[in-house]
Amino acid sequence: MRYKHYKNANVDVSEFALGTWGLDDSRWNGHGGISEALEAMKALIDQGVNLIDTAANYGNGTSEKVVGELLKSVDRSKILISTKFGTQNDLFTGGVYRDARFGTVMRECAGSLKNMKTDYIDFYFMHWPDVSTPIAETMCALNFLKEQGKIRYIGLSNTELPLLKEALKYGQVDVIQPPFSMIDQRYKETMEWASEHGIDVMAYGSMGGGILTGKYRSIPNWPAHDVRYTFYKGFSEPAFSK
* pLDDT level of residue 179 (50, 70, 90 thresholds): very high
Tens digit of pLDDT for each residue in 17-74?
999 988 887 777 766 688 898 999 999 999 999 999 999 999 889 999 999 999 999 9
Q: How far apart are CA 11 and CA 82, in angstroms?
A: 13
| pLDDT of 92 | 79
| Residue type at position 138 | T
Strand ranges (E), 31-157: 51-53, 80-85, 87-89, 96-98, 121-126, 151-157
Q: Which domains does the chain have, with CATH numbers?
A: 3-206 (3.20.20.100), 209-242 (no CATH)
Tens digit of pLDDT for each residue in 147-178?
999 999 999 999 999 999 999 999 999 999 99
Kind of pairing between the strands at 151-157 and 175-177: parallel
Tens digit of pLDDT for each residue in 204-225?
999 998 999 999 999 999 888 8
* pLDDT level of residue 10 (50, 70, 90 thresholds): very high
Tens digit of pLDDT for each residue in 102-159?
999 999 999 999 999 999 999 999 999 999 999 999 999 999 999 999 999 999 999 9
- The set of catalytic residues is 58
| pLDDT of 31 | 64
Provide the whole-model pTM: 0.94
Q: What is the mean pLDDT of the chain?
A: 93
Q: How far apart are CA 187 and CA 88, in angstroms?
A: 23
Nearest to 126 by CA among 112, 105, 148: 105
